[in-house]
Structure 1
Amino acid sequence: MTAQLGLGTYRCRDVAEAAVRAASRGADWVDTAPNYEGGRAEAALALVLAAYPDLRVSTKVGFVPPSARRIGVRAGALSAGDAKRGHCLAPDYIAWQVARSRRMLGRIPDVVFLHNPEHDCQENEFADRLYSAFLALEEACSQRVISSYGVAIWRGFSSGLFDVPALLELATKAGGPQHHLRAVQLPVSLVHLAPVAQALDGHGPLVDALDAGLEVFASAPLHGGEIPGIVTRDLTDLISPGSTPAQAALAVVASTTGVGRVLLSTGDPEHWAQAADAVGRPPLSPDVLRRVVDVLGT
């Protein structure tokens, strides 16, 4: 495959343990957020990142962990309303949170994703919200608090709220031609097959990101662990004979044009080894991917 396997920490019960296991087995990327593991994920990763200096890390800004709400309000970074809602992309909060994430992680994050910017946002407000957030992230880059930024979405592309060209236009408006927008993160799986189908037809967010030089992080490739239990043996054999259902599902994601990293959330060493084996195989052909789309639909 051309994609690489990275650790996603959203569903990890012990983020530090999962990161050590992944790093010791060759993973070079871990993705986290301030609200993961009950707000403890970033601090839990600090010692792991110190022990594995080549391990790259991305975090997010948007969802406010309960442990940071009072602190953020007292610091003047959060309004009481945003603290109650638990999500904020106001410039003051972004500046405060990315500085806090840097301290928690013990190093400059390689990428900071805007976490579900479509959350609780009206369509007519979205462009202004994103532009002001990009301005704050460009300022953080100029101050070397972060290295680059991206957008992590769940339904933003699929709902038609925005597309990659719109993101690039706003990033250029905020940071000029040398802006620091470097990545997008979106769900790609046997449940979220639309990006795969679009890529096969030469359009959609994965192709647009590839053409723009943005790295794509595929999140939820096993849809929260549900996919292995619903993939039939016939479908597994159609995709990759002799594989497990999880390996077949991961192979589809890793073989899709534009996907650069597949984020797997697991602390189980056997699951990680099987996933690494699946992602390390030659990519599936477009014909196989089309058959999967034809069988499952989008």
Structure 2
Amino acid sequence: MRSSDRRIVLGLYRSSPNSELLKQALELGVTRLDTAYNYQRFTAHRALAIAAGPALARFNITTKVGFFPEGHNLDPERLRRAVRQAGDDLGRVPDTVLLHNPECSIEGFEKACETLLHMRESGLCHAWGISTWNPHQLTEHAWSLPHPDTIMVRAGLSVPAPVLDAAERLTKQLRAREVHGMAPFGGNATDPLWTHVDTSLFLAPEQQASSLQAAIAVAFTIPGVARIAVGTSSPAHLAEIVQAESLTVSPETVERYRSLLRGRTGRSPTR
């Protein structure tokens, strides 16, 4: 994948938005934000609107619905209320709304997809899709669904082979128009793994990059995604992350890695 096809999305899962971070994001060309109805104890949308102020209009906002204070629920009316509230709290319609981990309530998946499609058609969002942490169950049914605009899946070196394969099957099955990635560090960028493993081995020759930057560059290709949502609360850290967009990954090394990963799956540990 060419570097021009890749874009970093600022994820707001663990970090509360602040004006300095959002200003730096715009200066770096990061114009997409990823949040959810339940982030920051169900205050994420309002907090984002306050932190961004008038600059919020310059961002493309993806949010997710499905988790509520009492648990996961794909009831159509609950989803509609959540999306309307997101628009009220943001002071504008969200650009994309994703079903948040629909595998947690698989019996309501089909109806929930139809609900989001209708919300897009009625102007409550501009696009709809699915965000799934573990897509196995979603691939076990012959769904009769409208094609989602976006599917978001886990990406990067921390994702097990069965999850990667299931994500690719789901994308083909539903014929999503665009695939986004998330959690390139498995939810923990400070894990010693990312400083002890030489992720630069995945890069094409003659490139200089930190281990973090190389890991993000690889995540764009495992599986192939157009955008990666990466969370940070540090403007300096964000600046480092964005540099990964320009790195070129060796497709041969990625293919070899995927082959080894699949071969390892299912093996029993030896003692």
Shorter-chain TM-score range: 0.7 to 0.9
**Per-residue deviation, 1:140:** 1.5
Q: Give deviations 1:27-76, integer Å, cap 9, x for gaps.
A: 12101012112222111222427314231001111111x4xxxxxxxxxx
Q: Give deviations 1:261-285, integer Å, cap 9, x for gaps.
A: 1000002122211111112223x12
C-alpha RMSD of matched pairs (Å): 2.9
Residue 231 (structure 2) pairs with residue 265 (structure 1): yes
* Equivalent residues in 2 for 1:1-298, closer than 5 Å: 1=3, 2-14=5-17, 17-47=20-50, 48=52, 50-64=54-68, 66=69, 83=70, 86-119=71-104, 121=105, 126=106, 128-155=107-134, 157=135, 160-163=136-139, 166=142, 169-172=143-146, 181-194=148-161, 198=165, 204-205=168-169, 208=172, 212-226=175-189, 229-231=192-194, 235-240=198-203, 242-256=208-222, 258-282=224-248, 284-293=249-258
Q: Give deviations 1:118-140, integer Å, cap 9, x for gaps.
A: 11x3xxxx3x5112112222222
What is the aligned-residue identity percentage? 30
**Per-residue deviation, 1:16:** 5.2
What is the distance in 1 between the residues matched to 2:209 and 2:49? 35
Query: CA distance change for structure 1 residues 55 and 198 in 2, over 3 Å: closer, same or farther?
Result: same
Query: CA distance change for structure 1 residues 234 and 90 in 2, over 3 Å: closer, same or farther?
Result: closer
* Residues 151, 184 of structure 1: 8 Å contact kept: yes
What amino acid maps onto 1:53 in structure 2? A
* Residues 215, 260 of structure 1: 8 Å contact kept: yes
Unaligned runs of 5+ in 2: 266-271
Query: CA distance change for structure 1 residues 101 and 234 in 2, over 3 Å: closer, same or farther?
Result: closer
Number of aligned residue pairs: 256
What is the distance in 1 between the residues matched to 2:255 and 2:220? 14
Worse-matched range after superposition: 15-24 or 128-137: 15-24
What is the distance in 1 between the residues matched to 2:164 and 2:83? 35
Using the size of structure 2 for normalisation, the TM-score is 0.82
